[in-house]
Chains A and B, each alone.
Chain A
Amino acid sequence: MSTETILEIKHVDRTYIDTNDNTVEALRDVSLTVRRGEFISIIGSSGCGKTTLLRLIAGLDAPEAGSLRIDGAEITGTDPHRGYVFQQGSLFPWLTVQQNIASGLKARHVYRRQKADVAEYIELIGMRGFEKSYPHQISGGMAQRVAIARALINRPDALLLDDPMGALDSFTRADIQDKLLELWRRDKTTMILVTHDVDEAIYLSDRIAVMTPRPGKISEIKEVKLPHPRDRGGAEFLSLRRDILEKLHLASAHPEPEYSI
């Protein structure tokens, strides 16, 4: 893995107004550097701003302050070089599995030249025989594999994953995690995964950014130096797990009230 920086986030602020007209500080002074080709996870409880951060990286939203630079250039909008996998139900229901995967190529008008890639990615995610199925005819796990293939077929420099396995059962989840590692090793894509599952983060990542809510900020970055495939029951795995969970619990516990007399 190189130490070259692909993404640089500096002092980013982002607030939004919630349904009760309250101003919520989703992100305050968030800085993060992502190295090319690494697998980094952003973990935190719900509402800590991790999806907000990922959307900023994708260019789906803009920050109020601070800067996000990819390969040195300011992020101004979406770009197929940054693939994005949504939480769930993001496949186009009117397109078959094959057409959904091809939609990335069609959106960029390169379908005719790269037609062969579709079959390759169908094979890679193990969806042979389901090419002509519509999204409602396949399982949730299959649908997420298709969503991953659809984002990867554009050969992005970075793949942004917004908790894509959050709604799946644990067997399907483990299956997709391995698939993801396999694709990561094959294409050397930089992976940025948002998750609330500590095991998932440790199993997959080189580094884990722990986020704490209100205001959302990155409180710590953990390196995971275990070799793949990782043993989910191993001593180091478990101690790292305890460590991160402690950080998350500390963060979500209410602070002692301060009295000044």
Chain B
Amino acid sequence: MSYFSKIREALQKEPQARPLPGRGAPQNVSNLRFTTLTVFTVLGLIAAIVVNRTVPQIADVEIEPYRVGASLDININGLYVSVLSGVILLYLGIAVFSFLDQDRRRKFIERAPFRFAVGLVLAVWDVLGTKFLLLPQPFFPGPARILEPFLMEPGYILQQILYSLRLFACGFVIGASAGILTGILIGWFPKVYYWVQPVLKISGVIPAVAWMPFALTLLPTPFGAAVFLITICQWFPIASLTAQGIQSTPKTHFEVARTLGAKTPYLVFRVAIPHAMPQIFTGISIANGFTFTTLVMVEMMGQPGGLGYYINASKVWSAYYKVFAAILIMAILFSLILWVLSLVESRVLRWQRGLVKQ
């Protein structure tokens, strides 16, 4: 599992800010420094807005307005500038909020150069991608163009998001439950270990999508087939890590419980499973890596909806700006899923806080 745990570490643990060698306690951030760096934070984004507004549109690109709501007409540049303004306001809000606390101040200004760079990159991209069309088209649309699908077909996009989300939710719930259950049985009963562990070991290395032809043939609906494949993705890592967690429960814990008068259900549910919890969560985060891949792949190849489907359908029309839009959504959506799961994890494993060295 060392390979997986490395992936997990890389995925989950953000490198902590380390103090520079040779320096003592972190220094206070003065008002002047904080204000300067706050301005610096939004300066790049402001530059991006200025570029979008002032650089003349050289290349012949159709920029049509869309009607939003009852009477508001907005084109892609309008939306792009609004989004950037929204981000600027958000940063300024955080800056005001961080002003009162030294720790928050330090944390906020740490990313200032990065945010500045993001703004500059957007500005350059805008010029090359939309204003002058120097990037090869239609593969590299400008940043404003990527937002066009949200104006063009917001309802349709939302539908695809919900489809993907529903697929993930079904696969996750079924797969994780099946994985945890299998893991407990393997970990607890030597007979189950004998018969199921080899199957798990062999089938676990097979990428889930390899089963796609069977899934599509044997299951009545494409949705059912996709859920099945995602279930497989979830099942293997969660089952094997749960089993490991159960098996590694120290004998003393069981003996303590027995001398306190515990019977088997207590030993399983109150001793072995709590002890396996950290490993169960490791299994879940490994599984999610595979699951996102499989989800998108399955949607691209045989689903009537979902973000993967959206990418595939857009590619056929060379609508690469829609592909980028879908990628943007995935980045946000999958990060949100991981974030929610990490919240659950830190709640369930709060007893580990300070115990495991970070």
Q: A94-B274, A107-B262 are in contact. Are A137 and B255 (CB under 8 A)?
A: no
Beta-carbon contact of A104 and B260 below 8 Å:
yes
A223–chain B nearest beta-carbon distance, Å: 29
Bound together, the chains give a CA A95 to CA B263 distance in angstroms of: 19
Given A92-B274, A106-B270, A84:B355 Cβ within 8 A: no
Which residues of chain B are near A103, meaning CB under 8 Å?
257, 260, 270
- Tell whether, in the assembled complex, residue A136 and residue B354 are in contact, meaning their CB atoms are under 8 Å apart: yes
**Which chain B residues numbered 226 to 284 have a C-beta less than 8 Å away from chain A?**
252-253, 255-263, 266, 270-271, 274-275, 277
Residues of A98-117 contacting chain B, CB below 8 A: 103-104, 106-108
- Asked if residues B256 and A90 are in contact (CB atoms below 8 Å), the reply is yes
**Number of B positions contacting A (CB below 8 A):** 20
B39 to chain A, nearest CB (A): 43
Residue contact B259 to A136, C-beta cutoff 8 Å: no
Residue from the set B262, B263, B275, B355 with the largest chain A CB neighbour count within 10 Å: B262
Closest to B355 in A: A136
Contact with B along A64-84 (1 / 0, CB 8 A): 000000000000011110111
Residues of B within 8 A of A58 (CB): 259
> Which of B260, B270, B351, B355 is in CB contact (< 8 Å) with A108?
B260
CB contact between B266 and one of A82, A84, A107, A134 (< 8 Å): that residue:
A107
Q: How large is the interface on A (under 10, 10 to 19, 20 to 34, 35 or more residues)?
A: 20 to 34
Instruction: Determine chain A's interface SS by DSSP, over half rule.
Output: loop
Q: Determine the chain A residues whose CB is within 8 A of the CB of B274 once the complex forms.
A: 92, 94-95
- In Å, the complex CA distance between A240 and B274 comes to 47
Closest-by-CB residue of B relative to A77 is B258
Beyond A79-B261, A86-B252, is A93–B351 a contact (Cβ under 8 Å)?
A: yes
Q: Are A78's CB and B258's CB within 8 A?
A: yes
- Report B267 CB to chain A, min CB distance, Å: 9
**Does A43 interact with chain B (Cβ within 8 Å)?**
no
A154/B255 in contact, CB under 8 A: no
Q: Please name all residues of chain B whose beta carbon is closer than 8 Å to the beta carbon of A28 when the two chains form the complex.
A: none
User: Is B260's CB under 8 angstroms from A82's CB?
Assistant: no
A150 within 8 A of B: yes
CB distance from B225 to the nearest CB of A (A): 39
CB distance from B357 to the nearest CB of A (A): 12
6 A-B pairs closest in CB distance:
A80-B261, A107-B262, A84-B259, A104-B260, A78-B258, A108-B261
Can you list 17 A-B pairs, Cβ within 8 angstroms, ordered by A?
A60-B255, A60-B258, A60-B259, A78-B258, A78-B259, A80-B259, A83-B259, A83-B260, A90-B252, A92-B271, A94-B274, A94-B351, A103-B270, A106-B266, A107-B263, A151-B260, A154-B261
- Using CB atoms and an 8 Å cutoff, list the residues of chain B in contact with chain A: 252-253, 255-263, 266, 270-271, 274-275, 277, 351, 354-355
